[in-house]
Amino acid sequence: MNGFLIIDKPLGWSSHDVVSKVRRITGEQQIGHLGTLDPLATGVLPLLLGKWTRLAQYFGKLEKAYTGTIRFGYATHTYDGEGEPVGERVPISLDLEKLREVAAGFTGKIEQTPPIFSAKKVAGKTAYTLARAGKTPEMKSVPITVHRLEIPRICGECADFEVTLSAGGYVRSLAHDMGQQMGCGAHLASLRRVAAGPFRIDSAQTMEQLVALMDTGTLVQSMPHARTLLPEIPATTADTYTAGRIRNGGAANLPEFSQSELVKIFAGRDELIAIGRRIAGTLFQPVVVLG
């Protein structure tokens, strides 16, 4: 089964759990996701199925948008509510305007240190593997961009937030760093991804909805059409002879795309058979063959 799904990841599931469950539901073994979500988080998890997993390289690093809650008063060693408290709990009375001023200091281009309990690689190993083994990996700060960070409301020791940030940014680190700035410690209490690049939560399917679509035989029809994916890459429909060459890895002349680096090549309206790369003039070589 070739296709694309936007899953609304349940609370407590790892991204790998979702992939494993979708394999059992659909019977398709080749499945990959576009951006890991922690078990604490819910929301948008895009999946590529079948031969379409070969398209992952063209999606690049997706900007993410989240909503959630930060709890102030103490930090944790994982920067979220699943971790052990670090230091004493500090009584805190939040001031909305003050918190908004602090949040403003974390917008724009910033340097951020990822949590030690993260998938960042340190000396060839994931940081969380080293941390779980009792080691303290040395985490280097990385440049990220926080496009938007808003605090719409507070309630007691908690503050709701809405954030949009570049790929590679950690909302857990934002929560932790804001707590340090406030002088009271903080950690991420809840997190929901509402968008990953162009994929939004209102297009996502729950696991229950996925099962229902499989039961009614309508899953494939519910998937985004191939022509809507990777809209930045132009599309063409090959004739029968050209489609045959492309399916066998042969180059094709596509004169209408002399200025394009890549082209999505279809056989008919619906079947995406290849991604072609321009090798000279209007000659395109299929670099990913799907059909």
What SS3 class is residue 31? strand
**pLDDT band at 135, cuts 50/70/90?**
low
Q: What is the pLDDT of residues 226-272, one digit of tens each?
A: 999 999 999 999 999 999 999 999 999 998 888 899 999 999 999 99
- What domains can be seen in the chain, in order of their start residue? 3-57+198-224 (3.30.2350.10), 64-195 (3.30.2350.10), 227-289 (2.30.130.10)
Is the pLDDT reported for residue 275 higher than 90?
A: yes
Is the pLDDT reported for residue 202 higher than 80?
A: yes
* More confidently predicted of 179 and 134: 179
pLDDT of residue 124: 67
Average pLDDT over residues 190-203: 96
Catalytic pick among 8, 17, 38, 80: 38
pLDDT of residue 87: 82
Strand partners, 108: 146
Helix pair 96-104, 171-182: axis angle to 10 deg: 120
For residue 38, indicate whether it is catalytic.
yes
pLDDT of residue 114: 85
Is the pLDDT reported for residue 273 higher than 70?
A: yes
What SS3 class is residue 208? helix
* pLDDT mean across residues, the chain: 92
